[in-house]
Amino acid sequence: MTDKPTTVFIVDDDQDAIDMERLILESAGFAVAVATSSRKALAELEQRRPDCIILDIMMPEVDGMELLRTIRRHEHLQHTKVVMVSGKPFEYDRHRAFELGADGFVVKPFQADWFLASISKVIRDRIALQYWGVRGTLPVSGAEVLRYGGETSCVTLQFSGGNVFIFDAGTGIKRLSNHLLSTGQSRIDAKILLSHPHWDHINALPFFAPLYQPGNAFEIMGGTHGEVTMEKLVSAQMDGVFFPIKVREFAAHVSYRELKEEAFSVDDIRVETMLLSHPGYCLGYKVSYGGRAICYVTDNELFPRSTSFYNDSYRRRLVAFIQGADVLITDTTYTDDEYRSRIGWGHSPVSEVVEVARLAGVKQLHLFHHDPDQDDAAIDAKLASARELLVQADSAVQCVAPAAGDLFEI
């Protein structure tokens, strides 16, 4: 007996759009029904009760926003996934759709693969966590670092509704840039959240090609540094002395936001920040969505109890911040032996990271920000050490060392 196919109901007054979307979805195994009259669609939606509804915005009888409002008030449809598909690329319309209860927003025109992936993400409602650079301090190259990659810090979270968070802009962001351009999206809209402005976290931002494309939109966020705003931090490294292209060449809409220890929301995603133990103003991020939480905590030094710098209050605050997280992505730069000669450099040894993850009861610990002198074999050994410590502590925490390109669905 085969499983019942996922059902999608398309409401659009444009027959060409319906034919194209229907072909893409049916080719992927979805069962598709359609309506060209938005006024008559509600009765059929109630009868069919599909898994997902695709609504155009600009329809002559009842526009898509009004139909969305009605669907969200309907007893049997209020929890059905709804994706708005429109030729209107404006942020106002996207924000309004999510405000009214949409689960996704796709801008026309689109490539078939991108459209299918967007609809599938909404239906499955997973957070896509992907690594583009996992090293710290300096990028590295050579045959001995091919498995984990040599790029510096860059991680993305992509949500089913279309929101994209980019954490840090080390050299891994160039790899991300190539990926985004290959998808054929007509508009790229993302939040760039910087942990701090040390070079290995910002120096590849000028090579992020979507910043130079009109129609894209990015909000760059990060901690304040006295009189130096986020805009100044970004523009300073693109001064003509250091880089031939200045920020005024950005063709995308780019805005800036200064963060402190605080909490805010992006649509239905909650973001919390915490000051970390690292030189300068460095923020860790906790992102919560749909009962799941992912923490990005780098760079951060967890001083052992054996040192005079040990701070029990800070450790307890950090444990509370990451408590029960589905994934903890955190600075595990050094082995314990390496750390003994690097105390006070702003990075953590593996044993202290394992202890904090265990105390917080995180589900997955992701080792991150590896020292440039560590080759693939050294990272393998560090991972083996972390797993052995968790076994010795009888901990249920799962530990992995992601490589550049690795994708996790949460």
The CATH number of the domain where 205 resides is what?
A: 3.60.15.10
Say if residue 105 is in the same domain as residue 247.
Answer: no
Say if residue 302 is in the same domain as residue 376.
Answer: yes
Q: Is residue 105 part of a domain?
A: yes
pLDDT at 202: 93
Say if residue 77 is in the same domain as residue 134.
Answer: no
Q: Which two tokens stand for residue 6?
A: 């996922």
pTM of the model: 0.85
Angle, CA of 28, 33 and 35, to the nearest 5° = 135
Say if residue 61 is in the same domain as residue 182.
Answer: no
Q: Is residue 1 part of a domain?
A: no
Low-confidence spans in the chain with pLDDT less than 70: 1-3
Say if residue 148 is in the same domain as residue 273.
Answer: yes
Q: Is residue 209 part of a domain?
A: yes
Q: In one letter, which amino acid is 83?
A: V
Say if residue 308 is in the same domain as residue 387.
Answer: yes
Q: Is residue 244 part of a domain?
A: yes
Residue from 290, 271, 269, 252 nearest 91 by CA = 252
pLDDT in tens, 239-266: 878 888 888 899 999 999 999 999 999 9
Q: Is residue 410 part of a domain?
A: no
Q: In one letter, which amino acid is 332?
A: T
Which domain-ending residue is among 66, 99, 124? 124
pLDDT at 1: 39
Domain count, the chain: 2
Say if residue 13 is in the same domain as residue 87.
Answer: yes
Say if residue 268 is in the same domain as residue 396.
Answer: yes
Q: Is residue 2 part of a domain?
A: no
Query: 230 and 257 in contact (C-beta within 8 Å)?
Result: yes
Say if residue 150 is in the same domain as residue 55.
Answer: no
Q: Is residue 280 part of a domain?
A: yes
pLDDT in tens, 195-240: 999 999 999 999 999 999 998 999 999 997 877 888 988 888 888 7
Compute the radius of gyration of the chain from its Cα atoms: 23
The CATH number of the domain where 42 resides is what?
A: 3.40.50.2300
Sorted by sequence, the CB contacts under 8 Å of residue 296 that are 6+ apart come out as: 155, 167, 193, 195, 284, 285, 287, 329
Distance (Å, rounded) from C-alpha 358 to C-alpha 377?
25
pLDDT at 3: 66
Q: Is residue 360 part of a domain?
A: yes
Say if residue 76 is in the same domain as residue 220.
Answer: no
Say if residue 222 is in the same domain as residue 305.
Answer: yes
Say if residue 43 is in the same domain as residue 171.
Answer: no
Range of the structural domain that residue 82 is part of: 7-124
Which domain-ending residue is among 73, 108, 124? 124
pLDDT at 88: 85
The 3-class secondary structure across the chain, one letter per residue, is: CCCCCCEEEEECCCHHHHHHHHHHHHHCCCEEEEECCHHHHHHHHHHHCCCEEEEECCCCCCCHHHHHHHHHHCCCCCCCEEEEEECCCCHHHHHHHHHCCCCEEEECCCCHHHHHHHHHHHHHCCCEEEEEECECCCCCCCHHHCCCCCCECEEEEECCCCCEEEECCCCHHHHHHHHHHHCCCCCCEEEEECCCCCHHHHCCHHHCHHHHCCCCEEEEEEECECCECHHHHHHHCCCCCCCCCCHHHCCCEEEEEEECCCEEEECCEEEEEEECCCCCCCEEEEEEECCEEEEEECCCCCCCCCCCCCCHHHHHHHHHHHCCCCEEEEECCECHHHHCCCCCCCCCEHHHHHHHHHHHCCCEEEEECECCCCCHHHHHHHHHHHHHHHHHCCCCCEEECCCCCCEEEC
Which domain-ending residue is among 124, 143, 160? 124
